[in-house]
Structures are given as C-alpha cells and as structure tokens.
C-alpha cells in the first residue's frame, strides 16, 4: 500500500509525470535535430551556430511541460490533488486514469495526444527519414 499521505502521493505523481514528459520531449527534440542535420544539412548547420538556443529550448520545454504536468482545471500553482492518486496496486501514485469529470477526461485525452502520441510519431518520422537518407546516400556511393 502507499505509505504516505495524499500530499506526498500528489507530489510523487506530479514529479513522475513531469520527468516522464521531459524525457520524451527531449528525445523528440534530439531526433528532430538529428533529422535536420542528416537529412537537411543546410538547416542543420544553423543549429551549430546557435549554441545558446539549446539552453533556451530546454528551459522553455521544461516550463511548457510544467503546465502539462499540473492540472489545467486548477488555477493553483500546485498540482490538483484529485488528478493524481494511488495506482491500482496501491504501491505508487500516478495520474488517476479513471476520470471522474469531463474536464479530467479531456485533460487525459489531450495529454495522451499532445504529450505522447505526437512526440512518438515525430520520433518515428525523424528516424525513418534518417534511415531513408542513409539508404539513398549508400546507393549513390555504390554507383560511383
């Protein structure tokens, strides 16, 4: 069972969601930059000149994901406690997937689409373009 109170459960789940989103978003940005550098070298070179852009990008991503990790239906600075709760086995806490309100259902659906599905598709497209570019350039080298 969960050994701590609801406030610690909320904080634990909030941190889990935030760091999970940060990880997936960082991988998405990394795959996009790699795709630009490999598939579109003219656009990829501009990333080398803008080294400060990486810092600003990571800070902005973290701030953006802080908004997603806390409940959008709450006007408070802290995450809304009814959005997070114990997992079905009761040993840890996460998002309460069985939404009790329409707002919670829409939040979970938007979180799934914008913070999971779209980044995964972008990663898949980026690495597919990289593989295709490598395959085409390999054929060109063989012909020469």
Per-residue pLDDT of the chain (144 residues; tens, 9 = 90+): 788 888 888 888 888 888 898 899 889 988 988 898 888 887 656 656 556 666 777 777 777 777 777 654 344 444 455 678 888 888 888 888 876 778 778 878 888 898 899 999 999 999 999 999 999 999 988 888
Which residues, in sequence order, are bridge partners of residue 85?
A: 94
21 within some domain: yes
For residue 136, the model assigns a pLDDT of: 92
Residue 10 structural domain: 6-143
Written as six digits, the tokens of 16 are 């889990």
- If you ran DSSP here, which 8-state letter would residue 83 be given? G
1 within some domain: no
For residue 13, the model assigns a pLDDT of: 87
Which residues, in sequence order, are bridge partners of residue 84?
A: 95
Give me the number of domains the chain comprises.
Answer: 1
60 within some domain: yes
pLDDT tens column, 1-16 = 788 888 888 888 888 8
Contact indicator for 29, 124 with CB cutoff of 8 Å: no
pTM: 0.76
24 within some domain: yes
């Amino acid at each position: 069972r969960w050994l701590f109170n609801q406030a610690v459960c909320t904080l634990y789940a909030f941190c889990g969601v935030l760091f999970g989103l940060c990880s997936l978003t960082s991988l998405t940005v990394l795959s996009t930059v790699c795709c630009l550098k490999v598939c579109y070298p003219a656009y990829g070179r501009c990333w080398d000149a803008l080294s400060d852009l990486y810092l600003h990008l990571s800070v902005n991503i973290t701030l953006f994901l802080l908004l997603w990790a806390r409940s959008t239906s709450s006007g408070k600075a802290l995450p809304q406690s009814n959005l997070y709760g114990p997992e079905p086995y009761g040993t840890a806490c996460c998002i309460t997937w069985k939404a009790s309100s329409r707002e919670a259902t829409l939040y979970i659906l938007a979180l799934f689409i914008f913070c999971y599905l779209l980044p995964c598709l972008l990663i898949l497209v980026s690495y597919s373009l990289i593989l295709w570019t490598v395959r085409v350039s390999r054929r060109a080298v063989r012909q020469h």
